[in-house]
Amino acid sequence: MSLLVVGSVAFDCLESPYGKVERAVGGAATYFAVAASFFAPVHLVAIVGDDFSKEDAAVFRGRPIDIEGLERTTGKTFFWSGRYSQNLNERVTLATELNCFAEFKPRLPEKYRNSKYVFLANIAPDLQRDVLHQVKHKPKIAAMDTMNYWIERTNAELRETLRHVDILMINDTETRELSSEHNLLLAAKHIFKMGPSTLVVKRGEYGAMLVDKNGIFCVPAFPLEEPHDPTGAGDSFAGGFMGYLASVGSKSEAFLRRAMVYGSVLGSFAVEQFGLDRLLKLKKAEIYARARHFAKLTQFKL
């Protein structure tokens, strides 16, 4: 079952206490697509400039990622630069240059329009909605991400998009900002009134929490001795989560719980090295081995 993603494909400049990379291929849709492609074929919708070379596109090659929907235009690719603090928990955005992204009007190739699983990565909410409208039938699962920029500047458009999705996957700060509630459970109640029936709160090194009508399910983040670069961890989490659900074709409680674990597994691999480096070397057997490790990590008897 293929999975549609729309979002950024970018050049990132990344700086952490472990080093610096000047021009890494990144972007939310890129991390999502690479992570999800371990489980299901991915249809990618994004835009790049003419500085995005064949070698740059190699990150998608040899994987079930269809890039017919990756539009190429003249000018520069979206550029983002960030620096992490000593403990990697805080990040300063040093630059966001929209470049060709500023004029992006997502167009879905015909074969993408039957998608049953859709992920709207972090882009302008009206573009997210536009993509959803181009999908012919109501998807089995439509999920989305967003960020403080859209919550603050395009709140009405964001509210309108939220009415059409099943799952909202955002971090704890964004959850609090969107709902104006500090407590995450009260925040979830508030967000359910906006449209989504499931909220997944990504909490960095503290793991992730899913809240829906069945209650709450929490997964830890995989404890790592030397995480190097948290960029894209949230998008890789979303890729593991949605990719797994698309592969099993179900959103029952047991599968949602496993999806949370696969999300956390992919997020944990993403942070081990800079940019996409670790995900590009990852083997499926390593994903399953780490998922088994998760089971051990959280198992106990009463």
Quick one: 81 or 197, whose CB is closer to ligand AMP? 81
Quick one: 56 or 288, whose CB is closer to ligand AMP? 56
Q: Which position has the token pair 């829906």?
A: 212
Out of 69, 106, 227, 234, which residue is the one contacting ligand AMP (CB under 6 A)? Answer: 234
Q: In angstroms, how far apart are the furthest CA atoms of the chain?
A: 62
Binding mask 172-211 for ligand AMP (x = CB under 6 A): ----------------------------------------
Binding flag, residue 128, ligand AMP (CB under 6 A): no
Neighbour tally for 247: CB within 10 Å: 19
Q: How far is the CB of 254 from ligand AMP (least distance, A)?
A: 27
Segment 83 to 102, residues that bind ligand AMP, using CB under 6 A: 96
Q: Which position has the token pair 């458009």?
A: 157
Segment 23 to 82, residues that bind ligand AMP, using CB under 6 A: 26-28, 80
* Residue (of 188, 200, 120, 202) closest to 160 by Cα position: 120
Q: Which stretch binds ligand AMP (CB under 6 A): 32-40, 112-120, 127-135, 233-241?
A: 233-241
Quick one: 94 or 186, whose CB is closer to ligand AMP? 94
Q: How far is the CB of 167 from ligand AMP (least distance, A)?
A: 16
Kindly determine how many residues on this chain lie close enough to bind ligand AMP according to the rule CB under 6 A.
16
Out of 161, 175, 198, 231, which residue is the one contacting ligand AMP (CB under 6 A)? Answer: 231
Quick one: 175 or 231, whose CB is closer to ligand AMP? 231
Quick one: 165 or 169, whose CB is closer to ligand AMP? 169
Quick one: 19 or 249, whose CB is closer to ligand AMP? 19
Binding flag, residue 247, ligand AMP (CB under 6 A): no
Quick one: 12 or 212, whose CB is closer to ligand AMP? 12
Tokens of 104: 């992006």
DSSP 174-239: HHHHHHT-SSHHHHHHHHHTTS-SEEEEE-GGG-EEEEETTEEEEEPPPP-S-----TTHHHHHHH
DSSP 249-295: T---HHHHHHHHHHHHHHHHHHTTSSTTHHHHH--HHHHHHHHHHHH
Helices (H), ranges, 23-91: 28-36
Out of 174, 212, 235, 272, which residue is the one contacting ligand AMP (CB under 6 A)? Answer: 235
What DSSP state is assigned to residue 114?
Answer: T
Tokens of 271: 């942070």
Quick one: 122 or 198, whose CB is closer to ligand AMP? 122
Binding flag, residue 106, ligand AMP (CB under 6 A): no
Question: By Cβ distance, which residue is nearest to ligand AMP?
Answer: 26
Binding flag, residue 149, ligand AMP (CB under 6 A): yes
Reported residue count of the chain is: 302
List of long-range contacts for 67-72, beta carbons under 8 Å, 24+ apart: 68/43, 68/109, 68/111, 68/112, 69/43, 69/44, 69/45, 69/106, 69/107, 69/108, 69/109, 69/112, 70/9, 70/44, 70/45, 70/46, 71/46, 71/47, 71/104, 71/107, 72/47, 72/48
Tokens of 136: 């012919």
Which residues contact ligand AMP (rule: CB under 6 A)?
Answer: 8, 10, 12, 26-28, 80, 96, 122-123, 149, 231-235
